[in-house]
C-alpha cells in the first residue's frame, strides 16, 4: 500500500507540475543554460587561451594547483590543462540543476497545497506523513536527477563533438561519476526536503522562492571552495561527502516529518 500511495503522489505531483509553464521552463531552460555556459567557458579557453590570459595571477595559481593534483595533465598544453580543470569542475556546477529544480518543485508543491487548501482533506486520508513527504520529495528529485544525468551525458557528447575527446581520460575519474550518480541524487533529496521544511513556514510563493536562494547558497559555496582550491574534492573526499549527504537526508526526512505535523498544518496554515 505504501508503494501505491507514493506512486499516487508522484503521478499527481507530476501532472500538476508539468502543466505549469514555470516548472517546465525550469526543467528545460535551466539545464540548457548551465550546460551551454560550461561548454562556452571551455571553448573560450580553447579559442582565446593566449599568453596574456594565462599569465594572469589567477590562472597561474590554478595551473599550480592542477600540476599538484593532476600530474598526468603535464603532457597537455597549458590551455588544455585549463580545459581539463574546468571540465573536472563542471559536475559541481551541474549540482545547481538538481538543487534548483528540487527546491522549486518543493516550494511549488507545498505552497500550492496551502493556496488550494487541499491538504486538510489529504491529511484526512490514511496517508502517512513520511509517505506524503517521500512521494513529494521523489516527485521533485527524480526529474532533477534525470535532467542532471542528461546534462552530464550531453557534456561528454559536447566535449567529443567539439574536438576535445582526447581530454576525456583526464577528467573522467571516479569522483566525476560519484558526483553524478551519488551526490546528485542525495543533494536533490536534501534540497527538496529543505524546500519542504522552509515552505511549510512560508506564507506565499514569493517568500518560498526567497527561500530557494538561501538553499542554493551552500552549493554555490561548494563550487567556490573547489574552484578556489581551498579544498580539492578527491575521489575519497567526494565519496565521503556523498555518503555524509545520504546520511543527512535521513535525518532531514525525520526532521521534516516532525515539522510537517498534521496538527500544525491544520491549525496554522491559513
Partner 1 sequence: MLIETFNLTRKFGERTAVDNLNITAEEGKILGFLGPNGAGKTTTMRMLAGLISPTSGYAVVDGIRPDKEPERVHEIIGILTESPGFYNNMSAQRNLEYFAGFYNLSDASAQIEKYLRLMGLWERRQDKVGTYSKGMKQRLAITRALIHKPKILFLDEPTSGLDPEVSQEVRGLIKNLSQEGYTVILSTHNLSEAEQLCQRIAVIRTGLVALDAPANLRQRLFRHQTMIKLEEIDERLIGAISKLDFIKNHSREENTLFIELADPSKHQPELIKSIVEAGGRIIEVTDKKHSLEDIYLSLLNEEEKI
Pattern 106-145, binding to partner 1, x per CB under 8 A? ------xx--xxxxxxxxxxxxx-----------------
CA angle 72, 172, 69 (to 5 degrees): 35
Contact flag: residue 3 with partner 1 (CB under 8 A): no
Rounded to the nearest 10°, the torsion over CA 167, 168, 174, 175 is 60
**Helices marked H in 117-204 — which ranges?**
119-123, 129-161, 168-171, 174-178, 184-201
CB of 8 vs partner 1, minimal distance in Å: 3
Contact flag: residue 77 with partner 1 (CB under 8 A): no
Contact flag: residue 8 with partner 1 (CB under 8 A): yes
Which 13-32 positions form the footprint of partner 1 (CB under 8 A)? 15-16, 19-20
Contact flag: residue 255 with partner 1 (CB under 8 A): no
CB of 118 vs partner 1, minimal distance in Å: 4
Contact flag: residue 51 with partner 1 (CB under 8 A): no
Grid cell listed for 79: 590551455
Contact flag: residue 210 with partner 1 (CB under 8 A): no
Contact flag: residue 10 with partner 1 (CB under 8 A): no
| Contact with partner 1 (CB under 8 A) among 21, 58, 72, 263 | 263
Task: Give yes or no for a contact between 226 and 233, defined as CB atoms under 8 angstroms apart.
Answer: yes
CB of 12 vs partner 1, minimal distance in Å: 5
Grid cell listed for 118: 487541499
First to last CA, the chain: 31
CB of 116 vs partner 1, minimal distance in Å: 4
Q: Which is nearer to partner 1, 64 or 125 (CB)?
A: 125
Cell 519542504 belongs to which residue? 196
Q: Which is nearer to partner 1, 80 or 113 (CB)?
A: 113
d(CA 209, CA 160): 37
CB of 6 vs partner 1, minimal distance in Å: 10
- Is the alpha carbon torsion for 142, 256, 187, 17 positive or negative? positive
CB of 62 vs partner 1, minimal distance in Å: 49
CB of 70 vs partner 1, minimal distance in Å: 50
Contact flag: residue 243 with partner 1 (CB under 8 A): no
Cell 496554522 belongs to which residue? 268
Task: Give yes or no for a contact between 260 and 193, defined as CB atoms under 8 angstroms apart.
Answer: no
Give CA 183 to chain center in angstroms.
9
Contact flag: residue 71 with partner 1 (CB under 8 A): no
Task: Give yes or no for a contact between 190 and 245, defined as CB atoms under 8 angstroms apart.
Answer: yes
The residues that touch partner 1, with contacts defined as CB under 8 A, are 1, 4-5, 8, 11-12, 15-16, 19-20, 112-113, 116-128, 262-263, 266-267
Amino acid at each position: 500500500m505504501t508503494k501505491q500511495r507514493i506512486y499516487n503522489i508522484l503521478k499527481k505531483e507530476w501532472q500538476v507540475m508539468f502543466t505549469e509553464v514555470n516548472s517546465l521552463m525550469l526543467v528545460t531552460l535551466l539545464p540548457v543554460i548551465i550546460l551551454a555556459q560550461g561548454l562556452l567557458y571551455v571553448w573560450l579557453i580553447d579559442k582565446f587561451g593566449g599568453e596574456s590570459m594565462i599569465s594572469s595571477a589567477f590562472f597561474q595559481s590554478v595551473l599550480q594547483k592542477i600540476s599538484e593534483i593532476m600530474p598526468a595533465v603535464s603532457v597537455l598544453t597549458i590551455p588544455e590543462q585549463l580545459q581539463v580543470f574546468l571540465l573536472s569542475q563542471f559536475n559541481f556546477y551541474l549540482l545547481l540543476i538538481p538543487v534548483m529544480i528540487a527546491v522549486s518543485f518543493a516550494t511549488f508543491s507545498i505552497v500550492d497545497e496551502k493556496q488550494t487548501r487541499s491538504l486538510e482533506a489529504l491529511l484526512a486520508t490514511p496517508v502517512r506523513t513520511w509517505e506524503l513527504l517521500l512521494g513529494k520529495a521523489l516527485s521533485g528529485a527524480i526529474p532533477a536527477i534525470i535532467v542532471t544525468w542528461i546534462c552530464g551525458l550531453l557534456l561528454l557528447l559536447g566535449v567529443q563533438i567539439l574536438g576535445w575527446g582526447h581530454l576525456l581520460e583526464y577528467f573522467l575519474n571516479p569522483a566525476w561519476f560519484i558526483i553524478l550518480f551519488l551526490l546528485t541524487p542525495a543533494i536533490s533529496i536534501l534540497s527538496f526536503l529543505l524546500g519542504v521544511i522552509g515552505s511549510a513556514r512560508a506564507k506565499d510563493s514569493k517568500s518560498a522562492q526567497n527561500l530557494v536562494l538561501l538553499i542554493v547558497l551552500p552549493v554555490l559555496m561548494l563550487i567556490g571552495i573547489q574552484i578556489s582550491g581551498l579544498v580539492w574534492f578527491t575521489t575519497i573526499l567526494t565519496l565521503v561527502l556523498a555518503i555524509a549527504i545520504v546520511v543527512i537526508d535521513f535525518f532531514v526526512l525525520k526532521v521534516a516529518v516532525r515539522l510537517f505535523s498534521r496538527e500544525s498544518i491544520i491549525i496554522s496554515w491559513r
